[in-house]
Amino acid sequence: MTLPADGSTHDGSQHGPDDGALDGTGNGVVEQAAPVALRAPDAPPAATAVFGDRLPLAERFAAVLADTGVSHGLIGPREVPILWERHILNCAVAQDSFPDHAEVVDVGSGAGLPGLALAIVRPDLRLHLVEPMLRRTTWLADTIEALGLDNCTVHRGRAEEFHGVLSLPWATARAVARIDKLARWTFPLLSEGGTLVALKGSSAQEELDAAAPLLRRLGMTGAAVRSHGSELLEVPTITLELTVGAGALRRGKQAKPSKRSGRRS
């Protein structure tokens, strides 16, 4: 753990250089056990098919997720054994939703899923990673630098703060919110005719059917449910892909440009 200059932790407690846990007798201190570093599982054969010559970079990303991704609370330690199938490949196979050289905003990027997975598998894409939490944006920027990615920009703030600031043809999100709430956040980030590619589960069609009247009022002009990676993954990735018209773009109260926007890595 890296401490600030005054020795305080994020919870306000203070630690000196020799502090440790009491030995139980009150007579001294004992060394605290260092956390056990988790190791990412080996890449499965499907990863080679998906990432091709970018697989070594994807493996480095997996290693970072298993290490600081866990220690920073971005993913749980129980997710490490299933990093590839449940997370990295689940996101990467959705790359076929985006045309060449697309510019994409990833809302609620968190651990870089799907944003960093997409940036790795498709270096032609330009990713904007929107995330409100400083701890997460710092991790994202550090990870981008460690991986040497030059096609990502990190923006700290809530999606609503970028309404009227970002206007892109593509948006994506994974495990952020139900589609009706996600549409309110992302539709104003899309240019006219833009598309939200939301990574969802097996109930995507039911979710779409239930929300369709509201989504149309919000400006949705087209919708599709697509499956990705069925020939490679035991559980294929399902996306809800919603296209918007001009009427969707200016309905909400626009926020002022965030001073935290545009941290480029």
40 occurs within a structural domain: no
pLDDT band at 176 (very low <50, low <70, confident <90, very high): confident
Q: Which residue has the tokens 């002022």?
A: 256
Angle, CA of 199, 148 and 112, to the nearest 5°: 20
pLDDT band at 175 (very low <50, low <70, confident <90, very high): confident
222 occurs within a structural domain: yes
Question: pTM here?
Answer: 0.81
Nearest to 43 by CA among 76, 78, 85: 85
* Domain containing residue 123: CATH number: 3.40.50.150
Pairwise pLDDT comparison (176 vs 222), residue with the higher score: 222
Pairwise pLDDT comparison (73 vs 260), residue with the higher score: 73
Cβ burial 65-83 (10 Å sphere, 16+ → b, else e):
bbebbbeeebbeeebbeeb
7 occurs within a structural domain: no
pLDDT score at 57: 98
Domain range enclosing 135: 45-264
Q: What is the mean pLDDT of the chain?
A: 84
E-only strand ranges, 117-189 = 126-131, 152-156, 168-174
Q: Please state the rounded mean pLDDT for residues 172-176.
A: 91
35 occurs within a structural domain: no
9 occurs within a structural domain: no
E-only strand ranges, 2-91 = 21-22, 29-30
38 occurs within a structural domain: no
pLDDT reading at 94 higher than 50: yes
Domains: count for the chain: 1
Q: Which residue has the tokens 């988790």?
A: 38
pLDDT reading at 11 higher than 90: no
E-only strand ranges, the chain = 21-22, 29-30, 103-107, 126-131, 152-156, 168-174, 190-200, 220-228, 237-244, 263-264
pLDDT reading at 69 higher than 60: yes
Distance CA 20, CA 17 (A): 9
Pairwise pLDDT comparison (172 vs 36), residue with the higher score: 172
252 occurs within a structural domain: yes
pLDDT reading at 83 higher than 60: yes
Distance CA 182, CA 120 (A): 25
Q: Please state the rounded mean pLDDT for residues 100-116.
A: 97
118 occurs within a structural domain: yes
